[in-house]
Amino acid sequence: MTANDTEIKVLLIEDNHTDYLLTSKIFAVLPNKHRISLEWCQSYEEGLALLMQDEHDIYLVDYTLGAKNGLDLIEESHSKNPEIGPFILLTDFDAERLLERSVQLGIYDHILKSELSPSIIDRTLTYAIQRFQTEQALKSEKEFNSFILSEVPYLIVSVDKHGLISSANPAVTDLIRRDEADLLGKPWKDLLHEDDRDNIKYKINDSGDVAFETHLNLPDDEERIINWNILNKGSGREELDTTAFILSGKDITDQLKIEETERRRQKMEALGQLAGGVAHEINNLLQPILMSSQMAAAKITEGPQKKDKEYLLKNMERIERNTKNAAKIVDDILLFSRGDQKDLERVPLQEAVLEAVMFVNEMMPSTINVNIDLEKLNPSRIANINKHELIQIITNMFINASHAMFEKGDITIKADSIFLPPKEAHFLKLQRGDYAEISISDTGKGISEEDLAHIFNPFFTTKEVGEGTGLGLSIVYNIIERWSGSIRVESEVGVGTTFFIYIPIVEA
C-alpha cells in the first residue's frame, strides 16, 4: 500500500463472527496497520445503512449475507448512490460463476476466504484504492470538460476517423435544434448546408489550424454562417478523410452583418472624403475633351479643308482617350462601392495570362519595354478565375508600374508552377498545395516601408491629388482573394517593385 499519512477506513460486511475475527487478526499484522481502521457490521440491513453514509474508503463484502447476498447489497447501494466504492467480494467458493455480474457491478476483486493472508489483503487494498482514486480523478476531469463544453459559446463537434460525429456540445444542438443522439454516427458534413458540402475552401488561420467558413444546415431555411477551425490536425485537408479531429465553430453571422454595415459606412465616408480629388481628376480629363470638341466644331463650322483632317482626327482621338479614362475612374468607384463579383471559370492559366498581357501591352507607351517569361508555367495548369478580372489585374499592375517609372523603363512579368509547403502557405494564409506564381516587376522609384503596410488599403495612394483614386490595388487584392489566392509585394526605394500573385491550381 502506498505510504502516506491518510487513514484508510475499511468496512467489513460479514455475517459470520468467526470469519470476522480471522479477518481482523490479518489486518492487525498488515505492514501499514497503524494507518488502517477496520469497522465491522454483520447484516445486510446494517451494511446498507452504513454504505449510504459513504464514510469509508473501501468495502469488503461477504457474498453470503443471510437470505440475500453481497452482490444484491452492492447492486442496491449503487441504485441509491452510484458513487459508492470500491468493493471487494469475499467468497467461500470459486467466484468464476459470479464473474459476469461482478463486472457489471464494477467489483474490483474477489478473494477466497481460505486464501486470506496479510500479503493478499495488502496487495488487494492497495490496488483497489489506487484504481478507485484514478477513476475518480478521470471522472472529475471528464465532468469538468463536459461542463466547459456545455458552457462555451463555441460549437464543438468531435469527429472519428471515419468522418462520423462522435459528440456535439449544447451550442451545436441548440443552434440546429436537434438532439445530440440524432447526430451521433452521422457524417460531419451533414451539419453543413448542402450547397457547401462539396465546395469547402480550406485555409490556414493565424494559429496554424485548418479553417473554413460554411452555412449551417438549419430548419426553416434560416441562414447562419459558421467559421470552423479543425483542431489537433496537420495542415493538409487530405487528412480529414483518414484521422479523427475536433471541429470548433463560431457563429459569425451577426458579426459579418455588423462588419458589412461598417464597411459600407467607411466606404461612404471615404467616398465623401475623396469626392474633391475625384472631381478634380475627372475635371482634368473633361477640360481637354471640352476644348478639343470646341476646336473641332470650329473647324467644321469654317468648313474643314483637307489639311485639317489630321488636326480633327487628333482632337477626336484625344476626346476618346480622355472619355475612356474618365469612365474607368467611375467604373472603379462603382465596382468598389457595390463589391461586384463575376463568375469564375476553369481556364488554362498560361494562355489566359498571355492573352491579358498582350492586350494590356498595346496600351503601354513605346518608352516602356515589356518582358514576358511564362515558360515555367505548365500550359496544362488549370485555374478557377475570371478572364476579364485577370485583364483588370494585369492592366492595373502595368499602369501602376508605368507611373512609378514615369513612363520609361522595364516591366517584367514571369510565371511559374510551384508547390507551397505548410510554412510558406501559412505565411500567405493559404492551404498548402499547387499554385501558379505570377510576378510583375518594374524598374521604378520603389515604395517605402511605411507605405508598403497600407498598399492594399482602399483609397490609399502615393500619388498627388487628382492623379489616382487609390482603388486599383484594393480591387486587385479583393479579386485575388475571391479566387482563393494571395498577393504580396517586395520593393526597394530607388530600385523598383515586384508584386507576387499566387493562384491555386485545380484539377483538370
Instruction: State the 10-residue block means of pLDDT for the chain, 508 residues long.
Output: 63 91 88 82 92 90 88 91 87 81 84 85 82 74 60 80 86 85 88 80 68 79 82 53 78 80 61 53 63 65 61 71 66 53 84 89 84 93 90 86 89 94 85 93 90 72 49 80 92 93 89
User: What are the cell numbers at 338?
Assistant: 457595390
Among 251, 283, 313, the domain boundary falls at 251
423 in a structural domain: yes
Shared domain for 329 and 446, answered yes or no, is no
Shared domain for 355 and 463, answered yes or no, is yes
CA distances, 134 to each of 126, 131, 266, 387, 394 (Å): 12, 5, 58, 64, 66
Backbone angles phi, psi at 430, to 5 degrees: -125, 170
Neighbours of 109 (CB within 10 A): 19
Positive or negative, the CA dihedral 447, 450, 455, 459 is negative
256 in a structural domain: no
450 in a structural domain: yes
Shared domain for 140 and 166, answered yes or no, is no
Question: In this structure, what CATH number is given to the domain that contains residue 217?
Answer: 3.30.450.20
Question: In this structure, what CATH number is given to the domain that contains residue 481?
Answer: 3.30.565.10
Predicted confidence at residue 147, as pLDDT, reads 60
Shared domain for 454 and 382, answered yes or no, is yes
Closest CA to 155 of 140, 172, 141: 172
How far, in Å, CA of 229 to CA of 220, rounded?
26
DSSP characters over 310-339: HHHHHHHHHHHHHHHHHHHHHHHHHHHHHT
Shared domain for 350 and 322, answered yes or no, is no
264 in a structural domain: no
130 in a structural domain: yes
How far, in Å, CA of 477 to CA of 37, rounded?
76
472 in a structural domain: yes
Shared domain for 31 and 109, answered yes or no, is yes
CA 136 to chain centre: 35
Predicted confidence at residue 300, as pLDDT, reads 62
Predicted confidence at residue 334, as pLDDT, reads 54
257 in a structural domain: no
Segments forming the whole domain that contains residue 176: 155-251
Shared domain for 115 and 23, answered yes or no, is yes
Sheet of 36-41: strand order equals 36-41, 8-13, 58-62, 87-91, 109-112
How far, in Å, CA of 108 to CA of 124, rounded?
9
Query: Which DSSP category does 113 fall into?
Result: G
Shared domain for 477 and 379, answered yes or no, is yes
Shared domain for 45 and 139, answered yes or no, is yes
How far, in Å, CA of 405 to CA of 410, rounded?
8
Among 148, 169, 189, the domain boundary falls at 148
14 in a structural domain: yes
Domain tally for the chain?
4
How far, in Å, CA of 472 to CA of 476, rounded?
6
Shared domain for 212 and 98, answered yes or no, is no
CB burial of residue 446 (10 Å; 0-12, 13-18, 19+): middle
Predicted confidence at residue 146, as pLDDT, reads 60
How far, in Å, CA of 387 to CA of 384, rounded?
10
With a threshold of 0.75, does the pTM exceed it? no
Predicted confidence at residue 373, as pLDDT, reads 95
Shared domain for 357 and 461, answered yes or no, is yes
Helices (H) and strands (E) in the chain, counts: 14, 20
User: What are the cell numbers at 348?
Assistant: 488554362
Query: Which DSSP category does 343 fall into?
Result: P
Closest CA to 196 of 179, 166, 217: 217
Among 251, 285, 309, the domain boundary falls at 251
Shared domain for 186 and 52, answered yes or no, is no
